[in-house]
Amino acid sequence: MNNLQQEFLERDTVSESGKRFYRGVISASENRKGVLDVDTVKGCSFGLHRHPNGGCYGECYALKIARQYGVEFSRSVSRLPTPKAFRAVFFSVQQFKASWYRIGTAGDPSCDWNNTISVIERLAPTGKTAIVITKHWISISEKHIAALKRFGVIVNTSCSGLDSDLETKYRISQMDRLRDGGVKSICRVITCQFGNSDWAKKCKARQDLLLKIIPIIDNPLRASKSNPRVLSGEIILTKVPSAIGGGKNVSLHRDGIYLGECSKCPDQCGVNL
């Protein structure tokens, strides 16, 4: 175990009955793609309840990382801004090179909208834009939508052709609510190159629908070669050695999708859209 891993385990996790869980205290960290993450929730009880075999689409990257560290991911833990911890987070956000920071990397902010809004409000004096990435496991209230608008938050709704018809309809409705409330709402589509089975054709039809919702971010699925849908040929992978973050085996439905460092990305999680 290297020093960074040891620091993470000591700072961000706690041991309970022989298992490690995320600690309920806010922190900020820069990931390998160069994004500053300030997760108000870590872990994903809703996602693992809905998709127990590997999380969403069987390929949840946050779950894979948690398992590497021996951290239990099936409990959604609210990360509260204690005075000492928040001072460190505020300084990290204020000094970060980008004009924005992200909430929703290793957990879904919708699992505690109250805490998410509270942290955003307290970080507003940094002048940085908050980017919230969510699957809307818990529907947002009108009161919280008004707060997101007031603080200039950009919401990325994570969705995919791999979702069910019901999930797709629900997430589109949440995007509509945000837009109607004056919030900048981005359709963040986890895309795939699909094969020719009936299942694949249905997924592609949902994907085509989502890609018509402007503005969008095209975020290709990173999948393992052992994924059953990959083995069956229903999801097609391409090896991209230069891809940063989430694996090198990527499902590319079109050429030219950006897979590099976030500092050079044209989208900037919606800031530039």
User: Which CATH number characterizes residue 152's domain?
Assistant: 3.20.20
Could you tell me the residue range of the domain that residue 201 belongs to? 3-270
Q: What is the distance between the alpha carbons of residues 130 and 15, in angstroms, rounded to a whole number?
A: 31
Is residue 257 exposed (0-12), middle (13-18) or buried (19+ Cβ within 10 Å)? middle
Is the pLDDT at 233 greater than 70? The verdict is yes
Is the pLDDT at 114 greater than 70? The verdict is yes
pLDDT digits (tens, 9 = 90+) for 35-44: 999 999 999 9
Is the pLDDT at 245 greater than 90? The verdict is no
Structure token pair of residue 231: 């083995």
1 pLDDT tier (thresholds 50, 70, 90): low
Structure token pair of residue 139: 């529907």
pLDDT digits (tens, 9 = 90+) for 51-108: 999 999 999 999 999 999 999 999 999 999 999 999 999 999 999 999 999 999 999 9
Structure token pair of residue 74: 């099936």
Q: What is the distance between the alpha carbons of residues 5 and 114, in angstroms, rounded to a whole number?
A: 30
Q: Could you give the number of structural domains in the chain?
A: 1
- How large a percentage of the chain has pLDDT more than 90? 90
Is the pLDDT at 273 greater than 90? The verdict is no
Q: What is the distance between the alpha carbons of residues 28 and 112, in angstroms, rounded to a whole number?
A: 18
3-state helix, strand, coil in the chain (%, to 5): 40, 20, 40
Mean pLDDT of 26-31: 94
Mark 88-103 as b/e (b = at least 16 C-beta within 10 Å): ebbebbeebebebbbb
242 pLDDT tier (thresholds 50, 70, 90): very high
The mean predicted confidence, pLDDT, of the chain is 95
Return the pLDDT at 10.
Answer: 77
Distances (CA, A) of 228 to 96, 217, 219: 40, 26, 21
- The reported pTM is 0.95
Is the pLDDT at 4 greater than 70? The verdict is no
